[in-house]
Amino acid sequence: MLVLGIAMLAALLVPLVTFGSYKRLVNTEIHWGWLLGTGLAIQLALEYYTLPRRYWHTLGFGLLVASYVLILAFCTRNLVLRGMSIVLIGIACNALVIVVNQGMPVKFPPEWRNESWVQATVKHHPQQHGESLLFLSDIIIVRDPYDTVMSFGDLILTVGLCDVAFNVSRDPQRRKRKARQAVARMAAQPYASSVPARRQPTGV
């Protein structure tokens, strides 16, 4: 969840550094937001509630998969937002490797092995020999001050959230005006090139 928090913080900073409007960002119409809320709530519960280990590969894994189904359904419903397709790809990459390996394999540095916060959970576990799609798993190590591991899906998700924040914080009318001006310039260019240049007088 730390990675998701960093991604959301980066997205929230986008309107500030690109001179966008937080009012437009907040007023963006979102459909089926309850799907996203429910999916994230399930993941938070699995992260902070200690489910007995005997239920990890049954109830826990089922809830984890259900959470991704809900979040992916939310993204699909909101594909009308520019950038949401990138978010969908990032989440789908994470969901795929989790489903295939019954959890997200994590590549921990040797010096982190004995830390309490790197122990296996319902969602994460240390990489094991023979697991699949490890190039999509948590293999990107981020050291001080975060001490966390990311996947390429997380990076794609971050880019997608920033793209969504950038686009929804823009003035759509201004974008349309720029598009019309560009079309008008392109339409005027053939006409300008077809007008013969006026000859300069050569007499004294």
> Which residue intervals of 59-171 are DSSP H helices?
61-77, 84-101, 152-168
Average pLDDT over residues 14-30: 93
Average pLDDT, the chain: 87
Cα 112 from chain centroid?
27
Average pLDDT over residues 40-55: 91
Local confidence band at 62 (pLDDT 50, 70, 90 cut-offs): very high
Q: Is 113 part of any domain? A: yes
Instruction: Give the pLDDT confidence score for residue 201 in this predicted structure.
Output: 56
Q: Is 204 part of any domain? A: no
Q: Are 77 and 35 in contact (CB under 8 A)?
A: yes
* Total structural domains within the chain: 1
Q: Is 202 part of any domain? A: no
**Residue 45: which domain range?**
2-194
pTM metric for this prediction: 0.82
Q: Is 201 part of any domain? A: no
Q: Is 9 part of any domain? A: yes
Q: Is 74 part of any domain? A: yes
CA separation for the pair 184, 187 (Å, rounded): 5
Q: Is 131 part of any domain? A: yes
Instruction: Give the pLDDT confidence score for residue 175 in this predicted structure.
Output: 58
Pair of tokens at residue 20:
């966008």
Q: What's phi and psi for 199, nearest 5 deg?
A: -75, 140
Instruction: Give the pLDDT confidence score for residue 200 in this predicted structure.
Output: 56
Q: Is 177 part of any domain? A: yes
